[in-house]
Amino acid sequence: MTEITLEMARKALRASRRWAKDIAGVPCSIAVVDKSGIVVAAERMDGAGAATIDIAIEKAWSVISFQMPTLLLARMIDPRFIGQQLGDHGMGLVTKGKGRLTFIAGGVPILSEDAEIIGAVGCSGVPSGVGDISDTSVAQAGVSALFD
């Protein structure tokens, strides 16, 4: 597994969608990007907010741009951590990336067997904070399906 194909992307979308429907119970949008950050497949479930598909794409793009899950990106700009872990300048990142950088949890990288990031899955539309029900868990369900 070195590259995201459309077939793989669709497999991830299917798994994420099933998780969102059956476990989270919330309609949402899911996007899969390749290692250059460009969309391979993106879908908005019926009933999901119209803008969520853009946010899902941008979460996946943000994963590629910093090579880390957006959950960690969110930590970067968390004022509680400034000066402790990642230097003093994390907050300045919010204006970068032509407005595309997204600091909201819900973007998860897809790793190859060599632990190289070959793509990412982003999800948006699921209210977070209720146990396993979050954008991240929906995205992770898609990533996990690729390794079945």
Q: Per CB under 8 A, which region of 36-44, 79-87, 105-113, 131-139 contacts other proteins?
A: 36-44
Which residues of 13-133 form beta strands (DSSP E)?
29-34, 39-44, 107-111, 117-124
Beta-bridged to residue 33, according to DSSP, are: 39, 120
Radius of gyration of the chain measured on its C-alpha atoms? 15
Q: Does the protein bind other proteins through residue 54 (CB under 8 A)?
A: yes
Q: How far is the CB of 42 from other proteins (least distance, A)?
A: 5
Q: Does the protein bind other proteins through residue 120 (CB under 8 A)?
A: no
Q: How far is the CB of 72 from other proteins (least distance, A)?
A: 26
- Cα–Cα distance for residue pair 144/148, rounded to 1 Å: 7
Q: Which residues bind other proteins (CB under 8 A)?
A: 5-7, 9-10, 36, 38-46, 50-51, 53-54
